[in-house]
A = this chain, B = another copy of it.
């Protein structure tokens, strides 16, 4: 099956109107996606997205369009024979690699993920099932070990996968209806306590018992809200907080020490996304606390994950489905987390991120760490009407996905209306609420 053409769509949703997704840095996000469609001569379409929060989606679209030239004309069979070949062709392109992580690695991820999508569709399997069925040796051969093997060697990775393989059939059966356990980020910064509680109560009725709250700007308000939510949840449900990198290391300590009474499960992104030594210092400072530190949604390279995991800087590993270079990078990170005993709790939300991370949760809990006692996969309860295969939850778990591939197909009307800047939603919007011109003071 040959890739015959590529289409890249800049899709943006004006979520800032309702302050959904807001945090101290991302004050008024418009949840967006650079959407890649790889068309083939075999009647299948490979789909991938890169999530962004509005402005800048066009930067990623530009990059994906450039890279897509390298896969048009290639065959799916070449890819599936050795996925690392395409990975290296992109990530180690001798000129493009100068662009570093960020936009470049995310654009590479789009191409790689669309190819994995095609492969899964060609076998009529959901992506998690394709991954679960791979031989351990094949998984190890998908990974770029160059900068990782001081933390996890290929042989160690093989041993982890082989150990899990012994229980794979049972685990797959156990997870055939209910997938990974979920938690919900209900406490967006821009929402009132009442609005947050309404979401929490609605989700509790469906079986959720784990919730996350945004914090950062105002200590007194944060503590009051934590008290309010802990009282509402009772002592047994899980409560987490997320500061989205708003603090420096010392400031983080000052804030976090006031959080100790609330029995938190984790404190997420207290400091800069790449401050490995800072995470280590915080973990040592709060060694006796109920919580550990979590990070990863903006960790832009497997090398940052390697350090956070092997040093003990984080206690929860929050892989993102589209920040690093696709399935190949994420497999490496999940394997490293397994070696160091750090539960993988993927970052969800955005547009269709949840559709993707449920597959990683399945693979981790069936074929790698082989259990699901400690992992929580993020779930966000909005924008699910944008896709043909919305994620579903039941009893506080993801319902195991069955659509072939990632299940990332967007509804055609939704795509057309939200294409930036030509879609109807954006044509009617004032310029100061669009793209780079939509500015917010950091305050």
Closest to A246 in B: B146
Residue A94 contacts which of B97, B301, B323, B442 (CB distance < 8 angstroms)?
B442
**Interface flags, A140-179, vs B, CB<8A=1, else 0:** 0000011111100000000000000000000000000000
A56 within 8 Å of B (CB atoms):
yes
A26:B102 contact, CB within 8 angstroms? no
- Whether the Cβ atoms of B102 and A101 lie closer than 8 Å is yes
A30 at interface by CB-CB < 8 Å = yes
Q: Is A300 an interface residue (CB 8 A)?
A: yes
Known A-B contacts A93-B439, A276-B277; the reply to A60 vs B99 at CB < 8 A is: yes
Within 8 A of B (CB), among A9-66: 25-30, 52-56, 58-60, 62-63, 66
CB neighbours of A101 from chain B (8 A)? 100-102, 300
Asked if A248 and B145 sit within 8 Å, CB to CB, the answer is yes
Tell yes or no: A382 within 8 A of B by CB: no
Pick from B52, B99, B304, B310: contact of A52, CB below 8 A: B99
B100–A147 contact, CB under 8 A?
no
Contact A150 B249 (CB under 8 A): yes
A293 at the B interface (CB under 8 A): no
Flag if A55 contacts B249 (CB, 8 Å). no
Tell which of A267-275, A352-360, A398-406 binds the partner.
Answer: A267-275
Q: For the complex, what is the distance from the CA of A29 to the CA of B69, rounded to whole Å?
A: 20
A96 contact set on B, CB distance < 8 A: 55-56, 436
Closest-by-CB residue of B relative to A306 is B275
Partner of A274, one of B56, B95, B303, B435: B303
Is there contact, CB below 8 Å, between B93 and A436?
Answer: yes
A57 CB to nearest chain B CB (Å): 9
A104 is an interface residue with CB less than 8 A from chain B:
yes
Task: Judge if A427 is at the interface, Cβ distance under 8 Å.
Answer: no
When C-beta atoms are compared, the residue in chain B nearest to A303 turns out to be B272
Q: Are B276 and A94 in contact (CB under 8 A)?
A: no
Residues of B within 8 A of A149 (CB): 248, 250
Q: How many residues of A contact B (CB 8 A)?
A: 74
In the complex, chain A residues 78-97 whose Cβ is within 8 Å of any chain B Cβ:
88-89, 92-97
User: Which of B54, B66, B99 makes the CB contact (< 8 A) with A95?
Assistant: B54
- Minimum C-beta distance from A60 to chain B (A): 7
Query: What residue of chain B has the Cβ atom nearest to residue A249's Cβ?
Result: B150
Main secondary structure of the interface of A (DSSP, over half): loop
Q: Are A55 and B93 in contact (CB under 8 A)?
A: yes
* Shortest distance between the CB of A279 and any CB in chain B (Å): 11
Q: Does A298 contact B (CB under 8 A)?
A: yes
Alpha-carbon separation in the docked complex, A56 to B97 (Å): 9
**Given A29-B94, A89-B439, A103-B103, A63 and B59 contact (CB-CB distance below 8 Å):** yes
- A412, CB-defined interface residue at 8 Å: no
Q: Is residue A233 within 8 Å, beta carbon to beta carbon, of the partner chain?
A: no
Residues of chain B within 8 A (CB-CB) of A281 are 150
Q: Which residues of B contact A274 (CB under 8 A)?
A: 274, 301, 303-304
A307 contacts partner chain B, Cβ-Cβ < 8 Å: yes
Name the distance in Å between A82's Cβ and chain B's nearest Cβ: 14
- Chain A residues numbered 123-152 whose CB sits less than 8 Å from any CB in chain B: 145-150
With an 8 A cutoff between CB atoms, is A311 at the interface?
Answer: yes
- In the bound assembly, the distance between CA atoms of A279 and B244 in angstroms comes to 27
**Which positions in A face B, CB cutoff 8 Å?**
25-30, 52-56, 58-60, 62-63, 66-67, 69-70, 88-89, 92-106, 145-150, 245, 247-250, 271-278, 281, 298, 300-301, 303-304, 306-307, 310-311, 323, 435-440, 442
